[in-house]
Amino acid sequence: MKIVDLRSDTVTKPTPAMWEAMAHAELGDDVYGEDPTVNRLEAMSAEYMGKEAALFVTSGTQGNLVALLTHCGRGDEVILGDKSHTFVYEQGGMAALGGIVPHIIPNRPDGTLRLADITAAIRPDNMHFPRTRLICLENTHNNCNGTPLTAGYTAQVAELARAHGLWFHIDGARIFNAAVALDVDVRELVRHVDSVTFCLSKGLCAPVGSVLCGPSDFIAEARRARKILGGGMRQAGILAAAGIVALEQLAGRLAEDHIRARRLAAGLATIPGLEIAPVSTNILYFSLANDVPLTPQEFVARLKERNVLVLAHGGRSLRAVTHYWIGDEDIEQALAAVRGVLVRMKN
Ligand SMILES: *Cc1c(COP(=O)(O)O)cnc(C)c1O
């Protein structure tokens, strides 16, 4: 029986078209700026995001760190959400490697930050304070049920940033999921931001890589930051080739993943013992009711015996993420497995 791997959309392996593109990619030394495939991916990415330039980076974590190192100097402060990936899951790289101070404010359940909280976090000009330099948002917001942030909200934050002379970066690891969920062109979601990172290696199925987009002078500096982090790759076109296929063929099909995530949520909602969080993209959080006599780790292990993988996510919470390699029959297999585990508990 097939393993239905719902832990993350990062588990996606390349599509046949990607393997084909990688096998025949035209290559050069990208540190010399001579890899035509990387150059093409960067030009396409800039175009997709409506920005002047782009930089192919090894990962979303590297893209965010490069952006932060480029926008901020040592002792500068960044305003970001307390549930954001950059604050929670990136080892505090901004502080560890950049001397940049994270100033966190609470994420609301929809992934937004209150405008009043942002304003209150901006430091006045005073010798005692670090200098506020940057605001970061995340779209879609992974830890907030994968919720997309709207173009309208993003524009409001951009206005605030501009009024205070701050840079504005978006961690758009899954920004194409946001665009699909909101039914807008992805450019609308980043029109007023200075920089954005998006991942090729999640729902877009590429094996490796993210792209940082922004103004040309910013990207030129970001290229230096990438190099000092060890991200200057050589014949990286072999990876960029898959990224090009990702943009051309995968970005447009994400709605299918959202439909399957909703179908999975609807199915799980019929099974006693589970509480289901709202689903708006491809990420579904659910939790075990208190009367289910299983830890999340035990639940995950029993599902695994039935060839279904989900992620324990702290507390009683679990995560399932749909992606390219999850079809309708896999959703059925997952539901049958969950039913099997929980119904057996009852008896
Ligand atoms: C996955 C993810 C990242 C980091 O990407 P990696 O390629 O795993 O380093 C950053 N931000 C968000 C919101 C993510 O989901």
Q: Whole-angstrom Cα distance, residue 233 to residue 238? A: 11
Q: Whole-angstrom Cα distance, residue 338 to residue 328? A: 16
For residues 109 and 212, state if they share a domain.
yes
- Of 198, 194, 151, the residue nearest 44 (C-alpha): 198
For residues 169 and 294, state if they share a domain.
no
**Collapsing DSSP states into helix, strand and coil, what is residue 11?**
helix
- Which of 141, 142, 145, 205 to mutate to test ligand 1, by most ligand atoms within 8 A of the CB atom? 142
User: How many A from CA of 90 to the centre of ligand 1?
Assistant: 8
For residues 164 and 259, state if they share a domain.
no
**181: CATH:** 3.40.640.10
Ligand 1 atom nearest to 59, measured from its CA: 7
For residues 218 and 325, state if they share a domain.
no
User: How many A from CA of 290 to the centre of ligand 1?
Assistant: 31
Q: Whole-angstrom Cα distance, residue 62 to residue 66? A: 6
How many residues does the structure list for the chain?
347
Task: Give yes or no for residue 343 having a pLDDT over 60.
Answer: yes
Query: Is 279's C-beta closer than 6 angstroms to any atom of ligand 1?
Result: no
Domain boundary among 198, 229, 251: 251
- Which of 58, 85, 143 to mutate to test ligand 1, by most ligand atoms within 8 A of the CB atom? 85
Query: 201 near 209, Cβ under 8 Å?
Result: yes
For residues 36 and 104, state if they share a domain.
yes
Neighbour-count burial for 114-143, b at 16+ CB within 10 Å, e otherwise: eeeebeebbeeeeeeeeebbbbbbbbbbbb
Mean pLDDT value across residues 298-311: 97
User: How many A from CA of 85 to the centre of ligand 1?
Assistant: 7
Mean pLDDT value across residues 108-129: 97
| Residues whose CB is less than 8 angstroms from the CB of residue 296 and which lie 6 or more positions away in sequence, other chains included | 287, 288, 312, 313, 315, 316, 317, 318
The percent of residues above 90 in pLDDT, for the chain, comes to: 98
Task: Give yes or no for residue 347 having a pLDDT over 60.
Answer: no
User: How many A from CA of 89 to the centre of ligand 1?
Assistant: 8
Q: Which protein residue's CA is at the shortest distance from atom 3 of ligand 1?
A: 60
> Peptide bond before 10: cis, by omega within 30 degrees of 0?
no
Q: Whole-angstrom Cα distance, residue 77 to residue 133? A: 6
Q: Whole-angstrom Cα distance, residue 103 to residue 96? A: 15
Mean pLDDT value across residues 160-186: 98
Q: Whole-angstrom Cα distance, residue 304 to residue 298? A: 10
Q: Which protein residue's CA is at the shortest distance from atom 6 of ligand 1?
A: 60
Task: Give yes or no for residue 82 having a pLDDT over 90.
Answer: yes
For residues 262 and 177, state if they share a domain.
no
Query: Is 141's C-beta closer than 6 angstroms to any atom of ligand 1?
Result: no
Query: Is 138's C-beta closer than 6 angstroms to any atom of ligand 1?
Result: yes
Q: Which protein residue's CA is at the shortest distance from atom 8 of ligand 1?
A: 60
Query: Is 59's C-beta closer than 6 angstroms to any atom of ligand 1?
Result: yes
User: How many A from CA of 258 to the centre of ligand 1?
Assistant: 19
For residues 243 and 268, state if they share a domain.
no
Report pLDDT digits (tens) over 179-214: 999 999 999 999 999 999 999 999 999 999 999 999
For residues 329 and 213, state if they share a domain.
no
For residues 188 and 219, state if they share a domain.
yes
User: How many A from CA of 172 to the centre of ligand 1?
Assistant: 9
Domain boundary among 221, 251, 281: 251
Mean pLDDT of the chain, nearest integer: 97
Q: Which domain holds residue 116?
A: 14-251
Query: Is 83's C-beta closer than 6 angstroms to any atom of ligand 1?
Result: no
Number of structural domains (the chain) is 2
For residues 235 and 307, state if they share a domain.
no
Predicted local distance difference test score (pLDDT) of residue 142: 97
Task: Give yes or no for residue 4 having a pLDDT over 90.
Answer: yes
For residues 340 and 222, state if they share a domain.
no
- Provide the pLDDT confidence category of residue 344 given band limits of 50, 70 and 90: low
Q: Whole-angstrom Cα distance, residue 10 to residue 199? A: 9
- Which of 199, 201, 319 to mutate to test ligand 1, by most ligand atoms within 8 A of the CB atom? 199
Query: 172 near 193, Cβ under 8 Å?
Result: no
Q: Whole-angstrom Cα distance, residue 325 to residue 233? A: 29
Query: Is 273's C-beta closer than 6 angstroms to any atom of ligand 1?
Result: no
Query: Is 170's C-beta closer than 6 angstroms to any atom of ligand 1?
Result: no
Query: Is 15's C-beta closer than 6 angstroms to any atom of ligand 1?
Result: no
Q: In what order do the strands lie in the sheet with 274-276?
A: 274-276, 283-288, 317-321, 311-312
For residues 302 and 206, state if they share a domain.
no
The pTM for the full model equals 0.97
Query: Is 197's C-beta closer than 6 angstroms to any atom of ligand 1?
Result: no
- Provide the pLDDT confidence category of residue 69 given band limits of 50, 70 and 90: very high
Report pLDDT digits (tens) over 19-56: 999 999 999 999 999 999 999 999 999 999 999 999 99
Domain boundary among 251, 268, 288: 251
**326: CATH:** 3.90.1150.10
